[in-house]
Amino acid sequence: MKIDFHAHSSFSNDSQAPIEDMVKGAIEKGITHLAITDHIDYDYDEDGVINDWDFDLDQYFEAIKTLKEQYQSKIKLHAGVELGIQPHLAERCNKLIKQYPFDFIIASLHTVDCKDLYNKKYFKTRTNAQALREYYDAYYKSVIQLDDFSVLGHLDLYLRYWEPLKSEPIRPYFDQIEMLFKHLIQNEKGIEVNSGGYFKYNLMSNNPSDEILKFYKSLKGEVITLGSDAHTPEHIGTLHDENLQLLDAIGFKYVCTFEELKPKYHSIKSLLY
């Protein structure tokens, strides 16, 4: 069994890869469980213009249905979405979640106070401490309003975009992260291990960092998924085996897949050995 529960296709605004090419690429890499989690980000800041990043979900689900049937003997496909969250978007996000039969929903914070992290505007008007405090506050306020989701995406995403934060200690912000994690644990939600920063942003760690993963484990967090954040077929499954070994070393017992938004637990040791 080999899992990638964070991958994008050309349904996303930031990928040119046809969805079938992503499925074929996953099969070539030996992936047995794949979630295509294309982007929906409402009120997204693109160079100062607020737009919606979305796609035709009816077409997406039709494509998933066709590909499930076509490749059912080779791979198990899961219908997913990476949903950009902000505190003021709760009603709109909840409506979407109820409208479609997702297997898996990644809740990701890409924008804070209507300022996008990718284009760095958010960081330029804040100290490091202000940037992190506001980021985790917005994440918590967004998550507690969501009716349903599966995991939080690339929790320390800011490390990809703002170099000064790479040397900022994370422990002073554990009070906020603990509130977030306790909410997840109480509701059988989780986090992902996202390897996308390695090949796209030259990070030397996953998102989130090992320190945050260990903190999640110390709070008895168990729901965790593996994702490459691939936008092209060649990056699917990046560091899959290495990250299973990492989770095992930290003390995690399981890695999860999701069906109909319910976690399924798979023994890490059985996957490794």
Share of the chain above pLDDT 90, in %: 89
Place of tokens 């958010």: 122
The Cα–Cα gap between 147 and 108 comes to 15
Q: pLDDT (tens digit, 0 to 9) for every residue of the chain, 273 residues total?
A: 999 999 999 999 899 999 999 999 999 999 999 999 999 999 987 777 788 889 999 999 999 999 999 999 999 999 999 999 999 999 999 999 999 999 999 999 999 988 889 989 899 999 999 999 999 999 999 999 999 999 999 999 999 999 999 999 999 999 999 999 999 999 999 999 999 998 888 898 999 999 999 999 999 999 999 999 999 999 999 999 999 999 999 999 999 999 999 999 999 999 998
Q: Where are the beta strands (DSSP E) in the chain?
A: 3-7, 33-46, 49-53, 76-84, 104-108, 111-112, 115-116, 151-152, 190-194, 224-227, 254-259, 262-267
pLDDT at 170: 97
For 3-272, the fitting CATH number among 3.40.190.10, 3.10.270.10, 3.20.20.140, 3.40.50.150 is 3.20.20.140
Count, residues in the chain: 273
Are the C-beta atoms of residues 232 and 18 closer than 8 Å to each other?
no
Whole-prediction pTM? 0.96
Q: Which pairing describes strands 262-267 and 254-259: parallel, antiparallel, or unpaired?
A: antiparallel
pLDDT tens by residue, 97-120:
999 999 999 999 999 988 889 989
> Which residue(s) pair with 111 in the sheet?
116
Question: Domain segments of the chain: what residues?
Answer: 3-272
pLDDT in tens, 24-72: 999 999 999 999 999 999 998 777 778 888 999 999 999 999 999 999 9
